Amino acid sequence: MDLTVCPECGQIAEVQHRLVLESTDGPIEHAKIRCVRGHWFFLPVSELPGPACKLREQPVRQGSRQR
């Protein structure tokens, strides 16, 4: 399983499909990703936000209050 980060919400996202498309600058690899919140993206692999391990830096509980 190839994981990354959703460019919209920052949650974990799975790379579901990769393919190479031709362009005027030569072939460019693209990926279709889907995050756990249901966002879908099809973008060049060079624009993927990064590996999912960056999610570990974020707090596990969002919206929780500290006392």
Q: Please write the tens of the pLDDT for every residue from 1-60.
A: 889 999 999 999 999 999 999 999 999 999 999 999 999 999 999 998 776 554 444 444
Structural domain includes residue 62: no
**Token reading at 58:** 């974020």
* pLDDT recorded at residue 49: 77
Inside any domain, residue 64: no
Q: Is 65 among the domain residues?
A: no
- Residue-level pLDDT at 48: 87
C-alpha dihedral (59, 62, 63, 64), degrees to nearest 10: -50
> Which domain does 23 fall in, by range?
3-57
Given this model, what pLDDT does residue 37 score? Answer: 95
The per-residue pLDDT for 1 is 81
Task: List 31's β-bridge partners, or say none.
Answer: 18, 43
On whether the CB atoms of residues 28 and 47 are closer than 8 A, the answer is: no
